[in-house]
Amino acid sequence: MPKPKVYIVTPIDKTGNSHDRFIEAGCDLRIGDVKWQNIAFGDEANRLRFDTDTSALVSVAVRPMLITREIMEKTPDLRVVAKYTVGVDDIDVDAATDMGILVTHCPTEANWAGVAEGVMAYMLALLKKVREKDRRVKQGGWRDSALLGTYLGRRFDGYAGITIGIIGLGRIGARLADLLAPWRVRILACDPYVDESKFIHHDTEPVDLETLLKRSDVVTLHCNLTGETKGLIGGEQLALMKANAILINAARGPIVDLDALYEALQQERISGAAIDVFPEEPPDPKLRLLGLGDKVLLSPHMITSNHNGGIEPAIPWVTDAVLAALRGIVPKHVYNLDAIPAWCERFGGKSLLTD
């Protein structure tokens, strides 16, 4: 029996331990040379190229390298697409589900909780004017009323505090709400897909999107990129926000219309934004948003990149998922649960490994 082919599109295991596990299990391991941290849109050198008898694809979520229906149809032995990341928006998940191909992802705490911590940092940097104060002193200046920050929580002197609006109360949104709890801010949340008990558990007030946008001083996005959320925040939505409000997007770039955001910031219809993700990455150097100075805080899609964190803890998860699938066993952390029945019919109990 030929060895099952496993193709790691975007290798991240610097130790090589997971590679050894694949080889020891009897896999024909192929390792690509894509440097996912620096991949750009339109880079032909990084197009997906692999054998059509590949049984498992492994990669980071890299949107310039889409795993399309066409690619999966040309790979009839493909059992699993395993992602080191939480996000799977570079895969045609619907097509994978139709074909009985499992998509697994890695919602490790180091990954998703890192986003919540990063958002706290972005929020405080903008509200407390951290960058502006630092630059002021370095340039020889001192105190100025333009450097006044925002006090977040309610106080006993009657100050009501600010309102934080969380769009998407999944793992990240819920952790952010928990991090904010000691600050005594009011937290609104919009998520039509979670049970009412979750709002209660995380001390958030459930509201619709329009209400959240109108009432919040900070709006932060934590929803998946789907057909429903693409372009979720455009000119119409930004017009509902307060003039002193800030917008934070550490979810996915296409959720926010950057042209509309530029106009809202440039015309001072909102006061600031923090952006970790872009529709195209890296962004075009001519992107107008890049010229707005301190009105925007920009980050190179690295909010989860922390020492002893990031996506490295996902390496054993991915390895386990692929080996389970190759043994005909449904792995953990399947993203497209609807694909399991068809997958079991095609591959269940049919091992490609000799152990």
Other C-beta atoms closer than 10 Å to the C-beta of 340 total 15
Measured distance CA(274)–CA(245) in Å, rounded: 12
* Nearest alpha carbon to residue 56 among 326, 262, 320: 326
Decide if 333 is catalytic. no
Say if residue 35 is exposed, middle or buried (CB neighbours under 10 Å; 0-12, 13-18, 19+): exposed
Measured distance CA(218)–CA(244) in Å, rounded: 9
Decide if 47 is catalytic. no
Measured distance CA(297)–CA(303) in Å, rounded: 12
Measured distance CA(57)–CA(351) in Å, rounded: 17
Residue 211 has phi, psi (to 5 degrees) of -65, -40
Say whether 104 sits in a helix, a strand or coil: strand
In whole angstroms, how far apart are CA 36 and each of 12, 33, 54, 149, 276? Answer: 9, 9, 21, 37, 16
Residue pair 245/273 in contact by the 8 Å Cβ criterion? no
Which residue out of 79, 105, 202, 252 is catalytically annotated?
A: 252
Residue type, 139: Q
Which residue out of 30, 69, 269, 301 is catalytically annotated?
A: 301
Pairing of strands 5-8, 54-59: parallel
Q: How many CA atoms lie within 13 A of 342 on its CB side?
A: 16
* Nearest alpha carbon to residue 10 among 69, 67, 74, 94: 67
- Alpha-helix residue ranges (DSSP H) falling in 99-256: 109-127, 130-138, 171-180, 196-201, 209-215, 235-238
Which residue out of 136, 281, 327, 346 is catalytically annotated?
A: 281
Q: Is 158 left (phi over 0), alpha (psi -120 to 50) or beta?
A: left
Decide if 252 is catalytic. yes
183 secondary structure, DSSP code: G
Residue pair 87/335 in contact by the 8 Å Cβ criterion? no
Q: Which residues are catalytic?
A: 252, 281, 301
